[in-house]
């Protein structure tokens, strides 16, 4: 089994210091620009209501919901903001809770993924393990995403996780927790504690839209969460780890993917497509990953990355 690459063999001390430098300004920009796009999308649909603007809204909102989840991911590594309070509290409430997640539980889960990437013990292994599949199988999965069945399944699973019936996971293999000696009120207590942030943040968004006389826009937000968000999460997950090597080598157990403007708007927000770079050195903030990629490419460490369509072709290559 190949071992993890040594960072000090790839970069100088000065380069490591420069690459890992965090910025509150960059964190604020990422959070506020994401919410600005969400607000602009609501304004567009309110100003020109119709099937086409709602269709565009579903795509843009699903992409920004994924962006909020990726910002939570950045904060889980302590890299979104330089200031700890902004990483821990502001990101939790402005990014994680609104998409039915929370930073502390996600961090515990996600750090295990980094410790055991694509190996036994990786809690996200079920997201990539079934691939490759046939084109028909992938088409069925995508169809379930688009019509909302995947989203409904995710909501049901998240509810059971929050009440303590299942252990926390963001993958497909939720496992029932032992509740010996606990009663129904324990489920209620756990549910209240784990879901209150999601309920409060979504209630605030719904009330703001109601106050603007556009309450129906919240239904579009929910519809995006059930449909396009599910699709974009799937494609992003496949690009990151499907059909990569089962080893501890971060250059081979994950994939960096080329992202043009449409991909960045949908499946690859916040530079999440630079995934080899992220796994090599998770302390590098999102906005420095492109520079890290250029350094690795110039030194012959990484090759030109594939595009997302190429990855989808690879993962549906079974005849």
b/e per residue, 15-34, with b = 16+ CB within 10 A? ebeebbebbeebbeebbeeb
Identify whether the C-beta of residue 161 lies closer than 8 Å to the C-beta of residue 169.
yes
Distance CA 36, CA 23 (A): 20
What is the pLDDT, as a whole number, of residue 171?
84
In a domain, 280, yes or no: no
Distance CA 287, CA 26 (A): 8
The pLDDT-based confidence of 97 (bands split at 50, 70, 90) is very high
In a domain, 291, yes or no: no
Distance CA 144, CA 149 (A): 5
Query: Which residue range(s) make up the domain with 177?
Result: 21-240
Mean of the per-residue pLDDT values for the chain?
A: 95
Identify whether the C-beta of residue 88 lies closer than 8 Å to the C-beta of residue 58.
no
pLDDT more than 90, % of the chain = 89
Distance CA 296, CA 98 (A): 36
Identify whether the C-beta of residue 76 lies closer than 8 Å to the C-beta of residue 107.
yes
What is the pLDDT, as a whole number, of residue 182?
73
Q: What does the pLDDT look like over 199-243, one tens digit per residue?
A: 999 999 999 999 999 999 999 999 999 999 999 999 999 999 999
- Three-state SS at 9: helix
**Phi-psi domain of 118 (left: phi exceeds 0; alpha: psi -120 through 50; beta: other):** left
Distance CA 54, CA 289 (A): 33
In a domain, 261, yes or no: no
Residue 252 predicted with pLDDT over 70: yes
Q: What does the pLDDT look like over 147-190, one tens digit per residue?
A: 999 999 999 999 999 999 999 998 877 788 777 667 788 899 99
Q: What does the pLDDT look like over 1-44, one tens digit per residue?
A: 456 678 999 999 999 999 999 999 999 999 999 999 999 999 99
pLDDT (mean) for 291-297 = 98
What is the pLDDT, as a whole number, of residue 183?
79
In a domain, 100, yes or no: yes
In a domain, 318, yes or no: no
What is the pLDDT, as a whole number, of residue 1?
47
pLDDT (mean) for 286-310 = 97
Distance CA 25, CA 42 (A): 26
Residue 128: both structure tokens together? 């990539």
Q: What does the pLDDT look like over 41-86, one tens digit per residue?
A: 999 999 999 999 999 999 999 999 999 999 999 999 999 999 999 9
In a domain, 134, yes or no: yes
In a domain, 1, yes or no: no
In a domain, 313, yes or no: no
What is the pLDDT, as a whole number, of residue 2?
53
pLDDT (mean) for 120-144 = 94
Distance CA 22, CA 285 (A): 6
What is the pLDDT, as a whole number, of residue 3?
60
User: How many separate domains does the chain show?
Assistant: 1
H-run or E-run covering 214: none
């Amino acid at each position: 089994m190949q071992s993890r690459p040594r960072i000090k063999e790839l970069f100088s001390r000065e380069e490591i210091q420069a690459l890992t430098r965090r910025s509150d300004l960059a964190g604020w920009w990422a959070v506020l620009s994401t919410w600005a796009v969400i607000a602009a999308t609501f304004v567009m649909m309110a100003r020109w209501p119709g099937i086409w603007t709602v269709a565009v809204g579903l795509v843009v909102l699903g992409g920004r919901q994924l962006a909020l989840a990726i910002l939570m991911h950045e904060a889980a590594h302590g890299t979104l903001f330089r200031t700890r309070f902004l990483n821990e509290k502001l990101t939790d409430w402005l990014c994680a809770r609104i998409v039915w997640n929370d930073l502390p539980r996600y961090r515990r889960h996600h750090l295990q993924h980094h410790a055991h990437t694509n190996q036994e013990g990786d809690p996200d292994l079920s997201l990539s393990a079934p691939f490759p599949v046939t084109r028909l199988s992938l088409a069925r999965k995508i169809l379930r995403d688009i019509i909302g069945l995947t989203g409904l399944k995710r909501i049901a699973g998240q509810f059971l996780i929050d009440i303590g019936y299942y252990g926390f996971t963001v993958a497909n293999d939720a496992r029932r927790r032992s509740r010996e000696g606990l009663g129904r009120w324990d489920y209620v207590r756990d549910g209240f504690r784990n879901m209150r942030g999601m309920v409060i943040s979504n209630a605030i968004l719904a009330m703001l839209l109601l106050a603007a006389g556009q309450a129906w826009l919240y239904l579009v937000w929910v519809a995006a969460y059930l449909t396009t968000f599910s699709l974009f999460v799937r494609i992003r997950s496949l690009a990151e780890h499907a059909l990569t090597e089962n080893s501890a080598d971060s250059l081979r157990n994950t994939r960096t993917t080329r992202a043009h403007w449409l991909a960045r708007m949908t499946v690859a927000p916040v530079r999440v497509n630079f995934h080899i770079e992220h796994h090599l050195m998770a302390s590098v903030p999102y906005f420095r990953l492109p520079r890290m990629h250029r350094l690795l490419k110039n030194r012959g460490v990484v090759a030109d990355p594939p595009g997302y369509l190429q990855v989808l072709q690879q993962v549906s290559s079974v005849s």
